[in-house]
Amino acid sequence: MTTPPETRPLLLAVDAPSLLHRAHHARVASDQRDRGGRPAWALHGMLLQVLEAVERFAPDRVVLGFDDRSFSERAARYPAYKAGRAEKHPELLEQIDRGAAMLDAMGLHTVTPPGLEADDVTASAATWARSHGWECIVITSDRDAFAHISDSTRVLRLINGGIGASPLLDPAKLFTMYGVEAGHYLDFAALRGDASDNLPGVAGIGEKAASLLLEAAGSMRAVWADIEHADGTTLVAALDSLSVERTGRRTGAGVLRKLAAEGAREQFEFNRSMMAGRDDLDLGLTPDVRRSTGALPLDEEAVSRVAGHLGVSTTTVLALRVLCGTTPASRADRPWLRPA
């Protein structure tokens, strides 16, 4: 008998730098300091968002990913990676560097993979959850995480308004947004490119063309195979049939020319390899041990001491209630996990 999704244990995987960046920009004017006089507005905002997420989703385990800021495998491979982004505020960087230690001291579980990013932690969390029969919710502002949406993983895409106002995306909602099956999202993103990471897309292929292409062909593996072995004949026919139905005009030949152009496939494959999160990291999670890394509830003394250092009494009270409650999270009602 299949276990209903709402009764399976739940792993909450958080892209912590996303929370810190958003909290910094929202709260920098407050100039909030902790009891040691250090900048704390981004740390406080991140903690509030973690607490809101835990209260909303009632996870059994929480893992928070951080970027390795000392070395980047992706930047070493592609020096222009993320070039063009604005310089980070020095006080934001200082809080990012303190973030993992603060959460660990509280009893939460953080992972900073050498040479990698928080995205790789959340990708590995989705794989871990599926392999252990768990559900997973990823919290991030990075669209690359959409590639990990499945029947066991949903993504809360952070937008203005925080946790409560952000959409929880499952395969059906992702398809409504982009017209792309979850399993093909990485192909879609590699075609489109990602300006925020300074990764140009395949020339002439935007979001609309990419989604139409994948709907007609099923996958880019099939597209490249048809171009290589049949000069794209099957692809053109499928695209023309679909595009005439949708727009009244044929697009197959034009799309084929763009895909067959010099460097097009190389750009696609490069983008795909850069965007794909590592999903094989050892997160240090032990699913069958109740009092293990990342498990809730946490120790009251540790939570009180660390949250209290931020100097906001209401946050300390909230942290104690949300993180140290005695009701097992796995017994909580989770109606948002039920199929629509």
Condensed to tens digits (0 to 9), the pLDDT of residues 104-124 reads 999 999 999 999 999 999 999
Phi-psi region of 117 (alpha: psi -120 to 50; beta: other; left: phi over 0): beta
CB 220 within 8 A of CB 181: no
Q: Does 5-177+278-335 match 182-275 in CATH topology?
A: no
Measured between alpha carbons, how far is 181 from 213 in angstroms, rounded to an integer? 12
| Extents of the domains making up the chain | 5-177+278-335, 182-275
| Amino acid found at 49 | Q
Q: Which residues of the chain fall below pLDDT 70?
A: 1-6, 288-292, 326-340
Smallest CA-to-CA distance from 261 within 173, 202, 220 is with 202
Phi, psi of 40 (to 5 degrees): -140, 5
Sign of the Cα torsion 281, 287, 292, 296 reads positive
* CATH architecture of the domain formed by 182-275: Orthogonal Bundle (1.10)
The predicted model scores a pTM of 0.92
CA distance 18 to 30: 19
Please report how the helices 264-275 and 185-192 are oriented relative to each other, as an axis angle in degrees rounded to 10.
120
Class of the 5-177+278-335 domain?
alpha beta
Q: Measured between alpha carbons, how far is 332 from 295 in angstroms, rounded to an integer? A: 15
The pLDDT tens digits of the residues spanning 283-314 come to 999 876 555 677 899 999 999 999 999 999 99
212 in Cβ contact with 222 (< 8 Å)? no
As given in the structure block, the two tokens for residue 291 are 């009092």
Q: Is 231 helix (H, G, I), strand (E, B) or coil?
A: coil
Output the pLDDT for position 1. 44
Residue 328: what pLDDT?
Answer: 47
